[in-house]
């Protein structure tokens, strides 16, 4: 979802519930802010793959144990991170991090892997979990605000592009309410036009 819409919080809450049913889960934060796993770890942002690779000189020098932490109810937590501002490409960083996790065997013995992806920019790197067959279902966190719906529409277009060549599908929209006028009506109409559904409404607390 759009930055600040609450996708990281929504992911953390969902995975905490799934982990309570004895599921083996890993969350991979795909956001340069590297804050996707903060709630699961009850701490500040963890060291990311790209951050440590920059400190050590190359991603080949990074050990899995240095960037993978175990959080609430045994959920494995990894952050891809991002490059130094003005240098490099954040999307490329996601590709590097996911390739590293594959090479290190991080995906073994898991029931579910969740990618928390920033949705403001749907470039090739940010879309990697979609286009490389890493993800099977995409859920978009949205609200009735214009920019949140704009981002959701862009993400859905990216999903459609890669759904034709892979097994990924749009699972639905999750409305994280901002109490905008006619919010439910707007999201249900957006879902209809995207040929999907609003699967959950989270009221503004």
The last residue of a domain, from among 54, 83, 116: 116
Residue 103: CATH number of its domain? 3.40.50.300
* Residue 125 belongs to some domain of the structure: no
Q: What is the pTM of this model?
A: 0.90
Q: Do residue 82 and residue 49 come from a single domain?
A: yes
Helix (H, G, I), strand (E, B) or coil at 6: coil
- Residue 13, domain extent: 1-116
Count of domains in the chain? 2
Angle, CA of 170, 46 and 98, to the nearest 5°:
45
pLDDT by residue, tens only, the chain of 205 residues: 888 899 999 999 999 999 988 889 999 998 888 899 999 999 888 999 999 999 999 999 999 999 999 999 999 999 998 777 666 676 777 888 899 999 999 999 999 999 998 877 666 666 777 777 778 899 999 999 999 999 999 889 888 887 777 678 899 999 999 999 999 999 999 999 999 999 999 998 7
User: CB-hemisphere CA count at 13 Å for 40?
Assistant: 35
Q: Is 67 exposed, middle or buried (0-12, 13-18, 19+ CB in 10 A)?
A: buried
Asked if 96 and 1 sit in the same domain, the reply is yes
């Amino acid at each position: 979802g759009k930055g600040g819409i609450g996708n990281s919080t929504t992911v953390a809450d969902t995975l905490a519930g799934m982990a309570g049913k004895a599921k083996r889960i890993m969350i991979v934060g795909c956001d340069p802010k590297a804050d996707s796993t903060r709630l699961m770890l009850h701490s500040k942002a963890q060291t990311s793959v790209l951050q440590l690779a920059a400190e050590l000189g190359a991603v080949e020098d990074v050990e899995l144990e240095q960037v993978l932490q175990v959080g609430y109810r045994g959920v494995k937590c990894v952050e891809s991170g991002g490059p130094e501002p003005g240098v490099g490409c954040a999307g490329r960083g996601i590709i590097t991090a996911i390739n590293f996790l594959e090479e290190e065997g991080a995906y073994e013995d898991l029931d579910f892997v969740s990618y928390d992806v920033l949705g403001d920019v749907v470039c090739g790197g940010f879309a990697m979990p979609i286009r490389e067959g890493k993800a099977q279902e995409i859920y978009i966190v949205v609200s009735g605000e214009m920019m949140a719906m704009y981002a959701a529409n862009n993400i859905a277009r990216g999903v459609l592009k890669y759904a034709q060549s892979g097994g990924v599908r749009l699972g639905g929209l999750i409305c994280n309410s901002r109490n905008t006028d006619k919010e439910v009506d707007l999201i249900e109409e957006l879902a209809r036009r995207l040929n999907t559904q609003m699967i959950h409404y989270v009221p503004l607390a």
